[in-house]
Structure 1
Amino acid sequence: MYLDRATGWCEGVRHCPSPNFNERPDGEISLLVIHNISLPPGQFGTGRVQQFFQNCLPCGEHPFFAEIAELRVSAHFLIERDGTITQFVSCLDRAWHAGVSRFGEREGCNDFSLGIELEGTDFQPYSEAQYGALIELCRLLQRAYPAITSERICGHSDIAPGRKTDPGPAFDWLRLRAAAITC
C-alpha cells in the first residue's frame, strides 16, 4: 500500500469515490478518527456501506435504509471484516464523517481529520484481518501526516460524546496503540 501525497489517494486499495466531500478549509490533517458501521445494522459484507457513501442506498430494501437515505455522509476509508480497504475520499479533501464534533478546544473535526470506518458494531469483536489492515493503514497515514501522533488517534465517541458510541467497547485500543503507533 502506498499513499500518493500529491493526490491523497492510496494505491493498493479499492477506490469507490463518494460525492460527499468538500475542500478542507486550511489543508490541515492532524487527527485520525475510528468509527464503525454496518448496513443493515449488524450485517456484514452486504456492499450497502459503499452504496450509502455514494448516495445509492436502496431505500425499500430495509426499514433502516429509509431512515438514513437522505443523509450525505462519507469517510476516507472503510475496512471490511476480511481486511479489504476501500477509499472513498482523497485524504486531501474533507470527508463528512465526524458531524458535530470537538477535539480538545477545536470544533468541526472534519476540517482537520481523516475518518476510518470499521465494518462492525460496538459490541462484536473486530476481526484479526481488520486489525492488521487498520494497523498498516495507521502507520501509512502517520508517516504521510506526522501531525497525527498517538494522542491524535481517537474514536468517534471521543469527539462526539453522548452522541456517538463507536467504535465501541469491542474495539481493542491497547492493541492498536501498541502495534500501530510506533512511527
Structure 2
Amino acid sequence: MTQTDLRDAVMRFPLVAGTIAAGAVVAVLLAAGEDSAAQWLASVFALLVAAGRTVSMIRALRSGRWGIDLLAVTAIAATVAVGEYVAALIIVLMLSGGEALEEIARGRATRELRSLLERVPHTAHRELPGLPPRRHPGRRRPARRHSTDQALGSASRGRIAPLRDRQFRRIHFDG
C-alpha cells in the first residue's frame, strides 16, 4: 500500500482511521503505565462516536426502522459504564469498519452492474423451425415474464408437464 493509497483510505473512512489512531494511543499509554489516561481517552472517544450515532439512530427509530446503530450505541455505553474501554474501542471499530466494507461493496457492485449493462447485446437473431434466422434490432423495453407453471404448461404446482413445440425457439444474441 502506497502513501497515496493510505491517504485516500484515511480520507474516505475517517472514523475507521480515527478509531485505529485512538487504539494506538491507548496502547502506548497502557504500555507507559498510564492506565487512567488510556481509559479516559478511549471512553471519551467511544462516547463521542456513540453520541453521533444516537442522532442517526433516533431518526431511524422515528421512521420505523430498527438498525445496528441501536445495538452499537447500547453496547458502547454499556462497555464504557463497566470500565471496559478497550471493548468500547473494538465495538466502534467493528461499527465503522462494517460501514466502510458496505460502502466498498456497494461501489464494487455498482461498477460490476454498469459493466454488465455496457455489454448487453443489441441485436438478436431468432430461429423458428423451418425458417431462416431473422435479425431483430435490440429494443429498450423489459422482457415479458412468465411464471414457471406457465412456462411448463402446467396449471398445478409441482406437476411436470411436457413443453409445447413453440416454446423451443432459439434466440442468438450478438454483442
Report the TM-score, using the length of structure 1 for normalisation: 0.19
Structure having the higher helix fraction is 2
Q: Which has the higher contact order (CA 8 A, sep 6+)?
A: 1
Q: Specify the structure having the higher radius of gyration (Cα).
A: 2
Report the TM-score, using the length of structure 2 for normalisation: 0.20
